[in-house]
Structure 1
Amino acid sequence: MTFPQQIRYTVFLFCFLFVHLTGRSQEKPKSPKTIPELQRAIENVLKETGTPAVGVALVNGDSTVWVAGLGKANLEKNTKATATTLFRIGSVSKMFVSLAVLKLQEEGRVSLKDKVRDLAPEIAYVNPWEKTAPILVEHLLEHTTGWDDMHMADYALNDPTLTLKQGLDFLPGTRTSRWMPGTRMAYSNSGPPVAAYIIEKLTGQRFEDYIQTHFFQPLGMTTATYFASSLYQQRGATLYVNNDPQPYWNISVRPSGAINASPTDMARMLRFFVNRGRVDGRQLVREASLKRMETPSTTTGAREGLDYGYGLANYSTPYKQFVYRSHSGGVNGGLTDFAYLPTHRVGYAIMINAANGNALSQIGNLIRSFQTAPFQTDSTRKKPVEQKLDDAISGYYVPINPRVQKMYFQQRIVDVKRLWRNGNFLFSRNLFGGGLETHVAVTDRQYASPETGKISVVQVQDPLAGEVVHVGSLALMRISPVLAYGQYLLSILWILYLLGSVIFGSVWLIRYWRTSKGRKETRNVILWPFLTSLLFVVTSVLGIIGGQDPMERLGKMGFLSVSALVLSILFALAAVWSVITLIRERKASLSRTVYWHMVVLSILHVLATGYLTWFGAIGVPSWQ
């Protein structure tokens, strides 16, 4: 379960526009050729990034190539990490929900095409398209229900005694389809637990017990557990955020991300996948089921041939000419990357006990380079289309499948994409550079990655939005260039005016307050726009402070979360009152330059208020 950084409701737009990551430029290291070289390279990454420990597992067919724990599992006790140290693997846990459903489907006890309403009518959810597009079991596992992700209060629940049903009943309002199920993908931690509940109903067993009996034991994952067991207390790696140890997080819906496992356990899990469901000569899950697990199927893009995307808790991760099947995971202070190449029967797992995505990425690149070095490409090249195509795809696009609906206001601005054609090549990038990708036309509506040969972009008809483009898991809708650049530039202008008013507004107010010429109406012209800016800044600061520990500070009702809600409402009210004041005091005796600056600032405040209100970002009770 990816730690919910995206749900920090009160961290407003300018934080995303002005905060940038910086780092030292480094000479590109040589790719390791042997396990000792790989180990030294990984240890260097740990040292350079300040990451305490990593658990690593590499497999090749039936062989375990390398299993190790490196670094410190606990800094305070100076405990070394080993191959038996237990790490928290987060959302990689979701893979076992899909495996369980597939196994039960093989036994004829359930089907991916079954309607969720028929199997579990007691689970509350809202689907406006229930009659024509009911939610199916496969939608739960491919995140195509249209549901919002779990809210902060779900993450903050942290009660180890909850049953799965109690966890699902806590905040059922997040389970509302925002678009027709089976059309767009949006990652939601709410879907897999509903599938796990169906498994409990079908088997009569607690989900964790079913997985223990039918997967952990046959696979030989002898220390894997969903709970803070006594063994975890002995062997569990302490998780760190900025070198601060984190308490154990009891996830309210354990199937989505609660597993603790060692590198040795993960090696056995990897061998299960690369051996295509066979364990010690026994076919635990059919290869056809694994292929379905690895195949995105339920979005409109997938139905039009899109290869990249999210299958049944299993997504594609391109690396050079290769496409790994994978899943990642994250909890507060721990990150995991689990990936394998089915064709070449190799795979790896990386688990770190720090909230350091840069470290995980560097280690992953080292391992992928090492692992793929002996292989030729596993891709089948698709022949580019020969005729000249109409350029109907070029333009500016905005995502229409947000993971967290209340954060969509910022995604619409900072995640705008530009797509353009050059001959039969399609290029895509972020609006102001970065993230450049190249695709080659295969048909007039399909484009493939030139590295892997897999279909990476398709044009499709969305039942609600009309003509859209699917790029991997993103669903993109065309917008005008004026809107693409205009909303961004207006945001920049607003932030500059806002910050300027906070800096200079106090000076102006003191001046007009003390001068003998200063009158009430004159002060009000400056006071209300200044207060509006100040309210927004204070609200944002509270959001940033809350974001340092969002589950405790924002996921629960308290001084900070309530203050952020109240101040955001006061910001909206002050923005409106500023405009009213400027109209009423338009003949105030002060510099016309100052007056018109206040007019521009107040108009920008009102526009921002309208925008944020439209997308539900004003008055957000983050504890609900």
Structure 2
Amino acid sequence: MFLLKQKLLPLLVILVTATALPCLAQPNPAPQTIAGLVSDLQAEMQKQHVAGMMLSIVTRDSALFSGGIGYADADKRTQVKPHHLFRQASVTKLFVALGVLKLVQNGQLALRAHLKDVAPEIPFRNEWEETSPVTIEDLLEHSTGFADKSPFEEYNFTGRRFDGLAGVKVFEKFMFSRWKPGERHAYSGVNYAILAYLIEKLSRQSLDNYLRNHVFSPLGMPDANVDLAGKAPGAYAQGYVRQAGAYRPVPHQPQYNAGYGSLNASAGDLTHALQAYLHGWATDSSQFLSADYLRQSETPHSYLSAKAGLHHTYAYGNEGYELEGRVFRGHRGAIGGFLSAFLYNREAGVGYAFSINTHNEAFYRQADALIRAFVTKGLSKPVLGKRVPFKTPDFGRYAGYYRLANPGQLYTGFLEQFQNTLRLDTAGGHLNAHLLMGGTMHFEQAESALLRFKAPHAYSSHAALLLDASDEPVFTDRTLYFTPISAFNAWFSLVMLLGGMVLLLSSIVFGLANGILYIRKRWPLPILLVRLTPALAATCILLIISAGTRLMELMKACLPMDNAQVLWMAGKLGFAVFVIATIGLLAMTWKRLHSLWLRIYLVLLAVSGGYWLGILMRNHWYW
């Protein structure tokens, strides 16, 4: 997701499993010719050590470029050709959604059909099922309330295939609705694992065969496949990470389910797909799907902000991005060794897709900006609309503190929530969102009759003050969904989170000092242990952080995560044991602790440990 919410504490950032790839500002000047663009990209690839890239640039009338730059295989010095297959990661979701729409068009499925009716064998949980059932549309738009898979389920290292229902059940722990389905968007690959299963169940074909026959072939994508192991016929680009000054090959590690990230496609494939979108899904041989389905696929429907008219967000596997004043639609993706994008603007009649086979986020952003600058250079520059006078007579009920209420991650969602705690006011003639962890976002009123807003540099509304089904205030910004909290809740939670962590880490020094003193004073063992167990709990936090750091590197390189998982398990279990031990030992030795300051410090450590343990328990770390 490309959101304005990546402002994590340096200590905690490695625990967050979502990766953001924001776009840079347009470079100046823009490349004026294809040759100039390719030259600029080649120069940056050499400078930033990117092995190769596939690139498609199209207009409504022609393909300006469809091919590659650099090496598909750096060791063999194999140049990228138009038919080399690159892993497209989450771009897969766009084409799986098209497969679902094909079933809808053929009368085999309905967008508003209930998941429990179509596939009662899928073990999901939804406490609101009677009034707010999970629908096919909710799956397409990530409004089920299901959490995203964790890094431990990203790749399948078991050596076994998980076909059919088994490829869905592996995500069962994430398949419960955390809020009413159809209310909030929260990106989750689990939704598309379920959709892949439904396609196979209803079509009685493998997902790969179905998409080849009913999506890839009609769109003119002869090379494309969703083969999990990358063993289908074709020339595959080798993925890399850059380590110790050299390219380290990344294995084509399969995922558990092909529906959320297993697309392999070439520049030629994506050139034809882009042109199909720019021609309203009309291909050389037929109409792929109707213009009405195309509009539906680009228009969010299910969640609250979409129903309120904020449509430049996530629809049917198809996300909107406002880039230099124009809304491009499509999808982005990241998987071991590859970063990808598939974006188009039907109104302007331009589109581009690219994928790099070296995990380099800085180059990805720069390449995206260069390519976009080139494809939009001949278009008229968008003009910011006139500022609407700020009038919010009903703002009083919306003023106050809010917290993010639709985190994507199951285990680390609380970090997303704490970093996105804010206060809304209207000082200075703006809607202001003051983040408690620092920074302020200003919004201008976008429409005089509605409580819709936009950032000063934005060209269309993307934020709104709304009321939910219970008539309670809600603040939304794109797909972020904020609900009101009290000032006490906002500040108390933040102080406990940060202050508790600082206190717990300080106990490491305290514990070492007391270990040294024990050698001289020979305290009774319980007196020593009550001074050491907080330090041991804090050490377990460091183990968790170490596991998180290692996990990020392993994900990029598609390497087994067993060691990192063991470290994470040891850290979280050790933390629980030592926090409980601290509380118990403090109660046992209370009368033998004669220093008031020592008592206060140990109580604060016990409270801090208990608070953090409670947070982890509420976020499913222990079950």
TM-score range, shorter chain: 0.7 to 0.9
Residues 331-350 of structure 1 aligned to structure 2 (within 5 Å): 331-350=335-354
Q: Which residue of 1 aligns with 2:513?
A: 507
Residues 380-395 of structure 1 aligned to structure 2 (within 5 Å): 381=385, 384=388, 387=391, 389-392=393-396, 393-395=398-400
Q: Which residue of 1 aligns with 2:283?
A: 279
**Structure 2 length-normalised TM:** 0.87
Q: Does 1:538 align with 2:543?
A: yes
Counterpart secondary structure, 2:145: coil
Q: Does 1:475 align with 2:485?
A: no
Q: Which residue of 1 aligns with 2:42?
A: 43
Deviations 1:161-213 (A, max 9, x none): 44343312334342222211111111121222333333334333322212212
Q: Which residue of 1 aligns with 2:461?
A: 455
Q: Which residue of 2 aligns with 1:240?
A: 241
Deviations 1:579-605 (A, max 9, x none): 343344345577654554333333322
Contact 2:336 2:556 in 1 (8 A): no
Provide the C-alpha distance between the structure 2 equivalents of 1:439 and 1:62, rounded to a whole number of angstroms: 38
Counterpart secondary structure, 1:255: coil
User: Deviation at 1:430?
Assistant: 4.1
User: Deviation at 1:138?
Assistant: 1.1
Counterpart secondary structure, 1:254: coil
User: Deviation at 1:310?
Assistant: 0.6
Number of residue-to-residue matches in the alignment: 605
Higher mean Cα deviation, 70-79 or 303-312? 70-79
Higher mean Cα deviation, 532-541 or 267-276? 532-541
Deviations 1:496-549 (A, max 9, x none): 333332235313321x22224645454334222222222332343234334432
Counterpart residue type for residue 299 of structure 2: T
Q: Which residue of 1 aligns with 2:257?
A: 253
**Structure 1 length-normalised TM:** 0.87
Q: Does 1:216 align with 2:230?
A: no
Distance verdict in 2 for CA 1:370–1:420, change over 3 Å: farther
Higher mean Cα deviation, 280-289 or 537-546? 537-546
Contact 1:416 1:430 in 2 (8 A): yes
Higher mean Cα deviation, 121-130 or 337-346? 121-130
Pick one of 315, 319, 337 that aligns with 1:315: 319
Deviations 1:533-567 (A, max 9, x none): 223323432343344326999987x5653453244
Distance verdict in 2 for CA 1:174–1:590, change over 3 Å: same
Higher mean Cα deviation, 441-450 or 344-353? 441-450
Provide the C-alpha distance between the structure 2 equivalents of 1:37 and 1:157, rounded to a whole number of angstroms: 41
Q: Which residue of 1 aligns with 2:494?
A: 488
Q: Does 1:70 align with 2:76?
A: no
Q: Which residue of 2 aligns with 1:291?
A: 295
Q: Which residue of 2 aligns with 1:106?
A: 105
Provide the C-alpha distance between the structure 2 equivalents of 1:395 and 1:377, rounded to a whole number of angstroms: 38
| CA RMSD across the alignment | 3.4
Q: Which residue of 1 aligns with 2:116?
A: 117
Residues 79-228 of structure 1 aligned to structure 2 (within 5 Å): 79-158=78-157, 161-227=161-227, 228=229
User: Deviation at 1:487?
Assistant: 2.9
Unaligned 5+ segments in structure 1 are none
Contact 2:83 2:267 in 1 (8 A): yes
Distance verdict in 2 for CA 1:350–1:482, change over 3 Å: farther
Unaligned 5+ segments in structure 2 are none
Provide the C-alpha distance between the structure 2 equivalents of 1:43 and 1:60, rounded to a whole number of angstroms: 23
Q: Does 1:265 align with 2:264?
A: no
Q: Which residue of 1 aligns with 2:533?
A: 528
Contact 1:142 1:312 in 2 (8 A): yes
Provide the C-alpha distance between the structure 1 equivalents of 2:614 and 2:193, rounded to a whole number of angstroms: 36
Q: Does 1:52 align with 2:48?
A: no
Contact 1:241 1:333 in 2 (8 A): no
Provide the C-alpha distance between the structure 2 equivalents of 1:108 and 1:43, rounded to a whole number of angstroms: 48
User: Deviation at 1:86?
Assistant: 1.4
Distance verdict in 2 for CA 1:179–1:521, change over 3 Å: closer
Contact 1:546 1:554 in 2 (8 A): no
Percent of aligned pairs with the same amino acid? 26
Counterpart residue type for residue 416 of structure 1: T
Contact 2:15 2:412 in 1 (8 A): no
Provide the C-alpha distance between the structure 2 equivalents of 1:363 and 1:437, rounded to a whole number of angstroms: 29
